[in-house]
């Protein structure tokens, strides 16, 4: 944006991503992409194999069924294994000149381009089409109704481009175009003002402060301070590097809630 470029941010949503990972494909990635072998590979295999599930309704329990795919949710290893499973996706993005971030099953693609670059949408669509095909071949399902695209930019060039913009398509279906999207708990708007993000932090912070205030007659100071840090300070601190360089009127709103805390 500082260079006068526009950017697409695409957030892809996967349906039941952790439940559909193919064990054989994952073990192949560990062995041939990361060079893991011998005892360590056997340890990963033992972590994945031999699991079963049942359905319980009241006092009735079904016969155990073997689980042939997926990684256990809640395990520390599972997000890392899922990221390893997605390694080829990065190669696809790089092939089309698209940057990407992955955090567990949150996949973000972004492409910066000049406003007069008419091929940017087509390039992004080609990349998305290749990713869609790869996901389908890897037993992963893209949830297109929850996937979003945000166009980031400022000024007349942004407005002119937006007026003529048709959202990128995946598998002949348009992505949902939004003005604000939530990325790992942070609201990002089309001009990166972060006003929505700060409003969210301030609103949630004062809500919890009011509740903590009601507890003042019943709890010692140390316990109140613990609650304040858990519910208020943690929200102000989360991703606070994004607030560098924002107008003072926005920073002042954060300062008010910190002073109140």
The range of the structural domain enclosing residue 125 comes to 6-16+91-180
| Residues facing residue 190 across a β-bridge | none
Do 10 and 100 lie in a common domain? yes
Does 96 lie in the same domain as 11? yes
* pLDDT tens profile 143-179: 888 899 999 988 777 777 776 677 788 888 888 889 9
Same domain, 139 and 110: yes
Residue 54 lies in a domain: no
Q: Across the chain, what does the average pLDDT equal?
A: 90
> Domain for residue 171, yes or no?
yes
CATH of the domain at 132: 3.30.70
Does residue 37 belong to any structural domain of this protein?
no
In a domain, 107, yes or no: yes
Given a contact cutoff of 8 angstroms between Cβ atoms, the answer to whether 129 and 10 are in contact is no
Asked whether residue 251 is domain-assigned, the answer is yes
Residues 96 and 173 both lie in one domain: yes
Residue 47 confidence (pLDDT):
92
Domain presence at residue 110: yes
User: Is residue 117 one of the residues assigned to a domain?
Assistant: yes
Q: Which of 129, 133, 123 is closest to 96 using CA atoms?
A: 123
Clarify whether residues 99 and 176 are in a common domain.
yes
| pLDDT tier for residue 218 given thresholds of 50, 70 and 90 | very high
The last residue of one of the domains, among 180, 212, 228, is 180
Least confident window among 18-22, 34-38, 191-195, 217-221: 18-22
- Same domain membership, residue 97 and residue 10: yes
**Are 5 and 153 a contacting pair, CB within 8 Å?**
yes
Mind listing the pLDDT tens digit for each residue in 93-141? 999 999 998 887 788 999 999 888 878 888 999 999 999 999 988 888 8
Based on the fold, state whether residues 119 and 218 are members of the same structural domain: no
pLDDT recorded at residue 61: 95
Same domain? For 12 and 105 the reply is yes
């Amino acid at each position: 944006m500082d260079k006068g470029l526009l950017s697409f941010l695409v957030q892809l949503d996967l349906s039941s991503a952790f439940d559909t990972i193919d064990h054989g494909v994952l073990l192949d990635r560990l062995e041939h992409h990361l060079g893991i072998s011998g005892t360590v590979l056997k340890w990963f295999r033992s972590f994945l194999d031999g699991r079963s599930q049942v359905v319980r309704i009241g006092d009735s329990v079904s016969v155990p069924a073997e689980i042939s795919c997926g990684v256990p949710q809640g395990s520390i290893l599972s997000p890392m294994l899922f990221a390893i499973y997605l390694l080829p996706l990065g190669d696809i993005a790089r092939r089309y000149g698209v940057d990407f971030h992955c955090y567990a099953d949150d996949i973000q693609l972004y492409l910066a381009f000049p406003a007069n670059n008419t091929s940017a949408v087509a390039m992004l669509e080609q990349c998305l089409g290749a990713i869609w095909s790869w996901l389908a071949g890897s037993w992963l399902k893209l949830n297109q109704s929850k996937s979003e695209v945000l166009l980031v930019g400022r000024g007349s060039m942004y407005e002119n481009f937006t007026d003529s913009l048709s959202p990128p398509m995946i598998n002949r279906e348009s992505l949902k175009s939004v003005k604000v999207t939530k990325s790992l708990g942070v609201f990002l708007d089309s001009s990166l003002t972060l006003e929505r993000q700060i409003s969210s932090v301030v609103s949630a912070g004062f809500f919890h402060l009011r509740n903590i205030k009601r507890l003042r007659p019943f709890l010692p100071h140390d316990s109140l301070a613990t609650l304040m840090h858990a519910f208020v300070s943690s929200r102000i601190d989360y991703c606070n590097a994004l607030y560098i360089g924002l107008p003072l009127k926005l920073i002042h709103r954060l300062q008010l809630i910190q002073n109140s805390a």
